[in-house]
Amino acid sequence: MDVLALSRLQFAVTSMFHFIFVPLTLGLSILVAYMETRYVRTGDETYLRMTKFWGKLFLINFALGIVTGITMEFQFGMNWAEYSKYVGDIFGAPLAIEATVAFFLESTFIGLWVFGWNKISKKAHALSIWLVAIATNLSALWILLANGWMQHPVGYTLRNNRAEMTDFGAVVTNTYGWLKFFHTLLSGYVIAAFFVMGISAYHLLKKNDLTFFKRSFRAAATFGLLSSLLIFLVGDFHAAEVAKTQPTKFAAMESVWNTTQGAAYNLIVIPDPANERNSVEAIGIPKLMSFLAFGDGQATVKGLKEYPAGERPPVIATFVSFRVMIVFGLLFVLLTLIAFFVSRGDRLDSRTTFLRIMFYALPLPYLAAQFGWIVAEVGRQPWIVYGVLKTSDAVSRAVSQTQVWASLIGFTLLYGFLAIVDIYLLTRTAKKGPDSDLSAIVRTPRTQEV
């Protein structure tokens, strides 16, 4: 493989591994904040134990996420120097805001939350985890606005062979970036919901601490159902935005080779890019694709043959990943709907078959999120900034194959080690279950509350 292929592989490995941790952090921070709020309002110590137990898992995941995220930024200088020189003025702005505002807010209040159990009032302590959750989600916003600009560049001009920002407001209000943010955010919420339900199901099958894990399961089921339904709504808007701003990606997602008016939505299709035919076999719903993409059943969907071969994304990877993501999304709606109603009663621990299903379903949202990123990033190719800068022109010119091989192997070994540590710590903590002794948590007397 050449430097370009190796650099792309390295960034894919590091970013996909990093995104194992990010979505759980987004969702679990919200759930932990909700649990502590319930404790503050009710005084029920079961919610306090829930906060401590799920909060411990949140902290393990959070720490690993930071470590894996830092190394990604090094690659902009090492492997993608031409990209950094070309669009650094634009891409760097939201990343700088993320670091100086969201990350510092997040790191400050997570420290207060971890070490403030004995130092501040219950309300102030609960507020600190809410601020962590807000900052975590704000961090994702700025990063995804930066990525959204790469997907649909706005508010810039080309000058002196560089892209220079002319309208920061356009970058911040980029519709593509906001839709991507909400889609990613909701996928993180689904992951967190299945994470909590999966671990709760494990303990309920073993009849461990039934009240604790029934409440945990119920809260996650409600959170997961709302998120699963909303992600379909946002996903519909997002797909329509893709059709408008990234027609080649949309055509690859649906395997449309020939421009078609009133295009059908293909339920079953076998893409045949070698012969540039629309498909070998297709079964679809007439005019539905045109309607979903443009709100008009007679609208024209441009096919991939309208574009030069060098500007078409990999079709099979994009098409299959998109379909797998949709199938997973439908499955999550079904499972969370069942979980919501089953968890309302008091016999959840007797639903052994369903609990086993939920335990084994725990990794599925992680897979769905990875397939989603394949659609987003592979479907954007061959552009690193859509319509502006090709990936082949963004790679560093000064690095050699040997250097990239060395960094790729180093990152892979490091991330492999971190994966083993993370799985070990999460598994050990999850299997151990919550502490029954809360004597270590000193309740602040009213006279000392702040």
Q: Which residues pair with 314 in a beta bridge?
A: none
Residue 279 banded pLDDT, cuts 50, 70, 90: very low
Answer whether residue 306 is part of any domain: no
**Number of domains making up the chain:** 1
Q: How many CB atoms lie within 10 A of CB 354?
A: 15
Is 250 part of any domain? no
Query: In terms of residue numbers, what domain contains 193?
Result: 3-239+317-443
In a domain, 346, yes or no: yes
> Residue 284: which pLDDT band, with cuts at 50, 70 and 90?
low
Give the Cβ contact number of residue 56 at 10 Å: 18
Residue 222 in domain: yes
**Is residue 361 in some structural domain?**
yes
pLDDT > 80? residue 57: yes
Of all residues in the chain, what percent carry a pLDDT higher than 70? 92
* Whole-number Å distance between alpha carbons of 30 and 219: 11
Place of tokens 């089921």: 221
Q: Are 89 and 49 in contact (CB under 8 A)?
A: no
Distance CA 135, CA 112 (A): 14
In a domain, 270, yes or no: no
Give helix 315-342 / helix 210-245 axis angle, nearest 10°: 150
- 260-261/156-159 β-pairing: unpaired
pLDDT digits (tens, 9 = 90+) for 115-133: 888 788 888 888 999 998 9
Q: Please name the residues in contact with 206: beta carbons below 8 A apart, sequence gap of 6 or more.
A: none
Residue 247 lies in a domain: no
Q: Which of 131, 28, 435 minimizes the C-alpha distance to 123? A: 131
- pLDDT, residue 117, reads 83
* Residues 179-191 pLDDT 10s: 999 999 999 999 9
What's the pLDDT band for 12 if we cut at 50, 70, 90? confident
pTM of the predicted protein model: 0.86
Task: Kindly report which listed range (135-139, 259-263, 331-335, 338-342) carries the lowest average pLDDT score.
Answer: 259-263
